[in-house]
Amino acid sequence: MKTAKTFRDYFDILGISPSASPVEVKRAYKIKAKKTHPDRTNDPSAKSGQRFIEVNEAYETLIDPLLRREYLTYYRQYKRIAEKEEFLKRVETKRRQYSLIYYYCKA
């Protein structure tokens, strides 16, 4: 049984904005690749190799115009859903606070 992959923010992985040009993507990739490459880091854990794979995947997606366009549609949907969930959490928190205030002030 397959599990759904979690959304990876490639812009955050490379440390760039969604409106970054291909030149900026390439520059950010080179900097991140040098920092996370398993042969260049002193970190013996497997996490550095995994980070390098994520950086490489982000670069391959964002440098290709067709893949980037498709990724941007999913990115915008993800951001919209995340903002909506954050808003609903804030509303629920305020509702609980006000209901507790009402409960204790009523007594």
pLDDT in tens, 53-72: 999 999 999 999 999 999 99
DSSP the chain: ---PPPP--HHHHHT--TT--HHHHHHHHHHHHHHH-TTT----STHHHHHHHHHHHHHHHHHSHHHHHHHHHHHHHHHHHHHHHHHHHHHHHHHHHHHHHHHHHH-
Structure tokens given for 98: 């006000």
The CA-to-CA distance between both ends of the chain, in Å, stands at 53
Question: What is the model's pTM?
Answer: 0.70
Share of the chain above pLDDT 70, in %: 84
